[in-house]
Amino acid sequence: MAEKTILRALKGEVLPTPPIWMMRQAGRYLPEYRATRAQAGDFLSLCYNPELAAEVTLQPIRRYGFDAAILFADILLLPQALGADLWFVTGEGPRLSTVTTQADFDVLKPASEVHEVLSPIYETVKILSRELPAETTLIGFAGAPWTVATYMIAGRGTPDQGPAHALIAENRPLFEALLERLTEGTIEYLSKQIEAGAEVVKLFDSWAGSLSGADFDRYALEPARRIIAELKARHPGIPVIAFPREAGEKYVGFARATGADCVALDNSVSPDWAAANVQVDGCVQGNLASKHMVTGGDALVAEAREIVKAFSKGPHIFNLGHGITPDADPENVQLMIDAVRGKI
């Protein structure tokens, strides 16, 4: 069988039509997802139920025929596996026990001990590797250490990652110890996903944009470089997509510096700028504004076509600049796919 289109793009091939998938493509905007989540009982129960997690991963593939499926899980499962308490508050999002002192850090498990908690996730990957259509790429993922650390330090998501920045200022050795543990844990977690059947892995550094200067290099770029190097040493040829969201000028050279096969772009950078400054180093992914999945119409079609055109001279995977939101209209997703594939 011909190699999967996403794998071809990740190797640097320029394709006449970019392959397409969508961040958070399995999620609350789909009625079938909401039904399965209700069946599971709550979000974490869904994540840890391999059959149901595989089902929601497959739902958007059945509905839309995306070129890739991304494992249904959550970036905060790793801190839970390291020993943090994790729960979700309806309508508000995740909550964790905090790591702000040496005593908090000392109760965390070693990175090598995460697999017992995470074994259901690996089982989900195995199910998907059997059940996905032959042409569909299976993507595994984890949160990048900086982003996961911001949640562990604050105990929740914050608008400016202020608690993590404060810990850096007050106790940099403790912060760096936490980042090291997360880096080691992320390597272990992604390596097991690859062993279970993931064909590509993605590192989501959702809050990379709140780092600047040397701290960006130290806490976003360097952990990504280490994770990617170790994964490629253990699994030669495995492609890695890195997403240092809102990195701005720091997107330039990120692939070269980290060894990433593809850099995912948010929609705060223009496709023309990214083609000239980022795509020169290889594959890029992105970067339609997710608001178009809510509003639809001619503006969606026009922007999708502009992105395809801007990136047409190099390897490109079409995606949103951030995850699809729960208020999106499923029909707009089909409209986007049709625009990208030249059907309208």
- The answer to whether residue 234 is catalytic is no
β 137-143/200-205 pair status:
parallel
Query: Whose CA is closest to 124, among 40, 6, 187?
Result: 40
72, 47 Cβ separation under 8 angstroms: yes
DSSP characters over 35-83: HHHHHHSSHHHHHT-HHHHHHHHHHHHHHH--SEEE----TTHHHHHTT
Read off the DSSP letter of residue 20: B
Q: Please list, in sequence order, all residues whose beta carbon lies within 8 angstroms of the beta carbon of residue 217, skipping any fewer than 6 positions away.
A: none
Query: Whose CA is closest to 101, among 146, 10, 163?
Result: 163
Indicate which residue of 37, 95, 156, 341 is catalytic.
37
The values of phi and psi at residue 96, to 5°, are -135, 155
Q: Tokens in use for 110?
A: 């070693």
156, 119 Cβ separation under 8 angstroms: no
- The answer to whether residue 281 is catalytic is no
- To the nearest 10°, report the CA torsion of 282, 60, 192, 126: -130
Across 217-268, the runs of DSSP E, i.e. the strands, are 240-244, 262-264
Q: Tokens in use for 192?
A: 């097991």
- The answer to whether residue 225 is catalytic is no
Indicate which residue of 8, 34, 63, 74 is catalytic.
74
- The answer to whether residue 122 is catalytic is no
Q: Tokens in use for 305?
A: 């076509």
Q: How far is CA 305 from CA 64, 65, 132, in A?
A: 19, 19, 28
Q: Tokens in use for 138?
A: 């299976």
Indicate which residue of 29, 48, 64, 151 is catalytic.
151
CA–CA separation, 294 vs 42, rounded Å? 25
- The answer to whether residue 226 is catalytic is no
CA–CA separation, 274 vs 253, rounded Å? 11
Q: Tokens in use for 84?
A: 């943090």
Residue type present at position 166 = A
Give catalytic residues, as residue numbers.
24, 28, 37, 74, 151
